[in-house]
A and B are shown apart, each in its own frame.
Chain A
């Protein structure tokens, strides 16, 4: 079997999901609008804050918009690609996960490719629009390093948030009913990532940097881009360590997922 053949089942699965979502045009459009709305609400918060203040956590409106755009771009792409893994509790309760276990493909890969929420493109679009407007408004001293960092940041942020989604899903093997517990770290992480970490207290900043690596998805890279020193506990150079954060969170996610799957014993019939 050629390499292409190995991925064929996933391609077929994803293709069918995309066709089914776009089949009902009007429903799809209203879903897309809903997703754009969510993106706009998130940005409205930043906008309203800066209608009242000039600077927040050493960032002006342009810098805060850049921060918001990078964090949201990473989160919304991760949400689009793997966000549906938070449906796991439904599969666990109904026993439908057993069907995945019977197929000769890794369960996590099947679960991730079992869906792709195209409607979430709406929120991606809002993040991209804010990024395009905010980038030229910032006075960035461009170097080759910074261009590389800017291009890598959305990819790494996507990886970090996707890893968080998988961690959150892994916990569901034990919690099942307590699914919302994990939202504190996925959606909470995204929320915290959209604001300058310098406004958080030190313990909270450390939590959202080293435990939930939200600060790596946007704040620390923005510090590098804007040549800002960064607050105590999270110096600017950490911005270059974002790929490492993505690797670590995925190692934790995969280990947690394996342990969770081993813990799973089915719901009986």
Chain B
């Protein structure tokens, strides 16, 4: 556990070097938040004031909270493992006395911890000033929300890990990674809340771990689900996390068995 904490801290420090990049990212998240909030509020207005339980303020809040979380959960890019497999560095990871999945998860969480405030606060602040935010006033949703965010970041990692493992069998992964981003950005609720999906798409989303990455933590933080329902959401997230991580371990073991690293 101490080792894990150290790796998380190292992940944090690695990302804290890029201050300007972080500020630029936060700015872009905020501009997108503004556009997204306008679209959600516009749609809710067009639907007559409420849409699937969201009134205008709740809809705007959804857009802003999603924008605050999008950097920590990392919907857009992670190919570190694929690059290490491709250039053979994975051999170094395999030689280390710690589990590669465990070490990468720690680094991924460290990155998320670093991005949490600097990438999360600006969109929320802008949201509070421009549209207002409908957030719960009691502490419980935030506590559960924190757990949910940690689970969400971990589920995101687990799916990225699995997709990256394709590098054991394929040379060029860009197309596959893009398709992963595509699937994740629709089905996680990044573009539109999952609760607005037509039935067939909602069913499809429920069959993937993606709603656990954004819709779930946002539901918990904003108090859309409370009490035992919130615990139920956390349980679903935890189940996906366990399942996808385990699948990742199995596939990794298979890939490592066929791995041949050139050079000396």
Contact = CB atoms under 8 A, between A and B. Distances in A.
Query: Is B one of A's binding partners?
Result: yes
Interface of A: 24, 26-27, 29-35, 37-38, 40-41, 44-45, 48-49, 51-57, 119, 175, 177-181, 183-185, 187-188, 191-192, 195-196, 199-201, 204
Given A195-B35, A204-B35, A204-B38, 7 more contacts: A31-B174, A48-B201, A52-B43, A180-B21, A184-B28, A188-B31, A199-B42
B179 A34 contact: yes
A172 to B, nearest CB: 11
A161 to B, nearest CB: 16
Given A188-B35, A204-B34, A54 B186 contact: no
| 7 tightest A-B CB contacts, nearest first | A30-B175, A34-B178, A199-B42, A178-B24, A181-B24, A37-B182, A27-B172
Interface of A is mostly: helix
A37 B181 CA distance: 9
Contacts, number: 125
B38 A200 contact: yes
A198 B197 CA distance: 24
Interface stretch (B44-52, B154-162, B214-222, B239-247): B44-52
A43 to B, nearest CB: 10
Contacts of A27: 171-172, 174-175
A56 B31 contact: no
B198 A188 contact: no
Interface of B: 18, 20-21, 23-25, 27-28, 30-32, 34-35, 38-39, 41-43, 45-47, 51-52, 171-172, 174-179, 182-183, 185-186, 191-192, 196-198, 201
A183 B196 contact: no
A27 B183 CA distance: 19
Contact of B46 (A35, A41, A55): A55
Given A27-B171, A49-B192, A200-B38, A34 B182 contact: yes
A187 B28 CA distance: 9
Contact of A192 (B35, B172, B183): B35
B191 A45 contact: yes
Most A CB contacts (10 A, CB to CB) among B41, B51, B185 go to: B185
